[in-house]
Amino acid sequence: MVITGTTGLAGIIGDPVSHSLSPRMHNAAYAAMGIDMVYVPMRVDGADLEAAVAGIRALGFVGVNVTIPHKLAVAPLLDGLHDSAVAAGAVNTIVRDGEALIGHNTDGEGFIAALEESFTPDYPSSPALIVGAGGAARSVGVALAEKGIPSLLIVNRSRGRAEEFQELLRERYPHLEVEIHVSSSLDPDSLRERRIIVNATPLGMSPDLKPLRLPVDRLSKDQVVCDLVYAGSGRTPLESQAIEKGAATMGGLGMLLHQGAAAIQLWTKRKPPLEVMRQAIESRRGDIPQAP
């Protein structure tokens, strides 16, 4: 990579960012696309977020990804929000539009692209279940609703966020049947007739967050279990439970790839090289902390 006086700036803000796979994935894409741009990780403390956004503005960044814990707090510091960020209630991508910084969310688009890459195109006719009601859950729920799924069950440990998510979906998609179940675990009945099952919580992400347990006796080979958490090697513990029962699975790396590709498309207006990006992620899988 040769950095010159005209090299464009992109990057990711969050805390921590040291294990992020995004710098490797983005820089590989820019090199393959022949784009004079560099992507840097920037650890930003919550107390410095406003100053960081002012810096992004002043330094002329083309675009910036936003990760935990700033996805919500960054929204009011921007000049506007795209509908994807309004629906998710969170920003994962900032796009410069002239002098303005606009917040987007590419997680939902990334999830659907990953799902469609791996599974049959008839999934929109199937009822779904999402565990979690945070930004990622909302992005995925809205994206599935846009695709026309008939019903969604939201399982979340706290009632407030589950109800907000339910309300959002009911307002936007009056024909979607939305139920909530307040719990940190999945009961066997919740899986009935739910073909798409998504873990959108951090459970299983780190040694202190035990994986979500699936009531595996109710799983069948017709179901697709999607874990937004990603594994350092092979599959996540949740995927392993599902595979034992013959269900299909999807880990979080596909979504990571496609949400990144969607960000590049927003910043450069060009189609990113997916295979190059996929290889860049695969080569750094060992950097991901292992789940218990």
**Cα angle for residues 59, 63, 65 (degrees, 5° grid):** 115
Q: Which one of 74, 113, 186, 205 is in contact with ligand NAP (CB under 6 A)? A: 205
Does 136 participate in binding ligand NAP (rule CB under 6 A)? Answer: yes
269 is annotated as an active-site residue: no
Q: Which one of 10, 17, 44, 256 is in contact with ligand NAP (CB under 6 A)? A: 256
Which residue sits closest to ligand NAP, CB atoms considered? 134
Which window, 50-58, 129-137, 213-221, 275-283, contacts ligand NAP (CB under 6 A)? 129-137
Residues 160-169: contacts with CB within 8 Å, 24+ apart?
Answer: 161/133, 161/134, 162/133, 164/89, 164/133, 165/133, 165/137, 165/138, 165/141, 168/87, 168/89, 168/138, 168/142, 169/141, 169/142, 169/145
Which window, 39-47, 58-66, 255-263, 276-284, contacts ligand NAP (CB under 6 A)? 255-263
Q: Which one of 26, 161, 194, 278 is in contact with ligand NAP (CB under 6 A)? A: 161
User: At its nearest, how many Å lie between ligand NAP and the CB of residue 186?
Assistant: 11
What does the alpha-carbon distance between residue 245 and residue 287 come to, in Å, rounded to a whole number? 29
**Amino acid (one-letter) located at 17:** V
* H-assigned helices in 198-236: none
**Amino acid (one-letter) located at 284:** R
User: At its nearest, how many Å lie between ligand NAP and the CB of residue 104?
Assistant: 13
Does 41 participate in binding ligand NAP (rule CB under 6 A)? Answer: no
Does 290 participate in binding ligand NAP (rule CB under 6 A)? Answer: no
Which residues fall within 8 angstroms of residue 200, CB to CB, at 6 or more apart?
130, 131, 132, 133, 134, 136, 137, 140, 228
Q: Which residues of the chain form contacts with ligand NAP (CB under 6 A)?
A: 71, 107, 110, 132-137, 156-158, 161, 184, 200-203, 205, 209, 228-230, 252, 255-256, 259
Active site residues: 71
